[in-house]
Structure 1
Amino acid sequence: MKVLTLNFLTCAVKTCKSSANSFPLHPKDAELVSDDVELNPQLLVNLLPRIDWNALRITSTEASDLSSLDLGFPQLPEQPPTAEELQSDEKMLKDLHTLLMETQINEGKLVCGNCGHER
């Protein structure tokens, strides 16, 4: 599963739907791999408004801590870049591409921060 996909998943337990702690799910005992994917700047610009930036920052930090590989995850800024900023910042564009499109969780569990449910 791509890190991008993780940004859209929530806990399956119904009682967690109303809790802010149920999102994002937290990777546990995860194996991360990196796949080469061609950079598509327009796709990233179109995805940017749909991404929960705070959740992505949490996932990026947790994934960096889990990885035995040096995947070079960026330190994401507190606020997401605008489409114009992203298009003009080659480094940010490549960093987001690496994180969202090339990084995959191969194995492991996803844990709800509210109820502890593992999936």
Structure 2
Amino acid sequence: AAAFAPSLKVAIVLFLCREALVEMDVPTRQSYVAAVVLPNERTFASGIANLARNIFWAVGSSVAGFLMQNVAFSAPLVIGGGAKISYDLLLYRAFRNLAPPEEQST
């Protein structure tokens, strides 16, 4: 939404709202990773999940620069927002019916 903001003030407010909500998936993901792997594998599994996320952040800067230069200045914001929404919806879909082991009835 910041890409389509009519003024700098609106863009700043939208950006701050985004930053307040951007990491909401991290506790959910970490909780489920810790719940579904063996206790002695939790550190490794959490590390792999975070590594995959950080690799895309590193590559994202180069891709964003290319898109800003060759497509549109707002392209990285629009694509990034769409990717984040898709990721959150897929995460919800994957885990909505999966109860952690401590909540499963035996």
1 or 2 for the larger relative contact order (CA 8 Å, sep ≥6)?
A: 1
Normalization by structure 2: what TM-score?
A: 0.28
Larger Rg: 2
Larger helix proportion of the pair: 2
Larger strand proportion of the pair: 1
Normalization by structure 1: what TM-score?
A: 0.26
